Structure 1
Amino acid sequence: MIFSGGATGSGAAEAKLMADYAKSVLEFDGTVLLEDQSATTWENITNVIPLLEDVGRIKIASQPAHALKARAYLRRQRPDLAERLVRADDYRPGEWMVVKPLLALYGLWTLRGLTADERKALL
């Protein structure tokens, strides 16, 4: 599993926080790779591409709008790797119930730079 995301401010890198959560709370005991330099979604994709070269399936898991954007960016940067994308469980009923409307609005706003075809993509 690859976790990607740099530090925001003086705190720990997002990748490290997610990996620690997966190990300690979700009891994930598989291989973990960290990419902890990215500051944007574009950089997340750019920086994990070398780690994806030899994998058979790519699953991007995140908040739905962010995952859609990341998949579109992978398609832009490396269409050959994007062919290996498989569906992730981006939405789980009841998750983030209180803030979901705000996240949805923010997600729509951040997707404004994608083409119509990229926004329609199911993966």
Structure 2
Amino acid sequence: MVLGFANRGKRPNAVNRWRARIAARTALRLMSSGATVSVICCGGAVRDTRAEADLLAEALRGMGWLGDIQYDRESVSTWENIANARKLVGDPDMIAICSNGLHAAKARAYLRRQDPRLGGLLVPTDDYRFGGMMLFKPIFAAVGLWKLAAARRVSRGTQSSGV
């Protein structure tokens, strides 16, 4: 599963291209170990008329990915990304959630909450590359920590907004 990022315009933005690279690296690693891989691109048209799923798929194809791609074009939140992607996964042997680190951690927590059986199938992604998105990482870290903490408060029964 590769999770979209709000995208203005008709072409994949830098964050969606970065997330697509993570998905491509992860898919290639899993295929090299003998796995059959299908990439699920997640995200609706949040900031423009084109679905994030289509933008992610365009980026993947532009990187040379020739494998299967499935689409969730309806999601407008991370929770919905996971809920809608679950309908597409079938009966997998493993699941990788591709995004920047803290966003993927939140999505993995959501998957475990929504479907503990599928949550037990999570495998690591190839999301770290030295120097990758270096200028954005402090922003992603601050926002990601805030949203991850909010998601944990919700799971413990205290009220939170902005998850």
Q: For the superposition of Structure 1 and Structure 2, which TM-score range results when normalised by the shorter chain? A: 0.7 to 0.9
Alignment partner, residue 113 of structure 2: 76
**Stretch deviating more after TM superposition (91-100 or 56-65):** 91-100
Alignment partner, residue 36 of structure 1: 73
Q: How far does the alpha carbon of each residue in 1:62-88 deviate from its partner, in whole angstroms, 9 at most, with x for none?
A: 011110000000000000011111111
CA distance in 1, matches of 2:109, 2:56: 22
**Stretch deviating more after TM superposition (3-12 or 28-37):** 3-12
TM-score normalised to structure 1 length: 0.88
Alignment partner, residue 61 of structure 1: 98
TM-score normalised to structure 2 length: 0.67
Flag as ranges the 4+ runs of structure 1 deviating above 3 A: none
Name structure 1 gaps, 5 residues minimum: 119-123
Equivalent position SS for 1:51: coil
CA distance in 2, matches of 1:27, 1:12: 21
Aligned residues: 116
Matches within 5 A, 1:1-123: 1-24=39-62, 26-115=63-152
Question: Aligned-residue CA RMSD in angstroms?
Answer: 1.6
* CA shift for structure 1 position 91: 2.1
Q: How far does the alpha carbon of each residue in 1:99-118 deviate from its partner, in whole angstroms, 9 at most, with x for none?
A: 211111111111112439x9
CA distance in 2, matches of 1:58, 1:71: 10
Equivalent position SS for 1:33: strand
Alignment partner, residue 121 of structure 1: none
User: Identical aligned pairs, as a percentage?
Assistant: 43
CA distance in 1, matches of 2:55, 2:144: 22
CA distance in 1, matches of 2:102, 2:65: 25
Name structure 2 gaps, 5 residues minimum: 1-38, 156-163
- Cα separation, partners in 2 of 1:8 and 1:115, compared to 1, 3 Å: closer
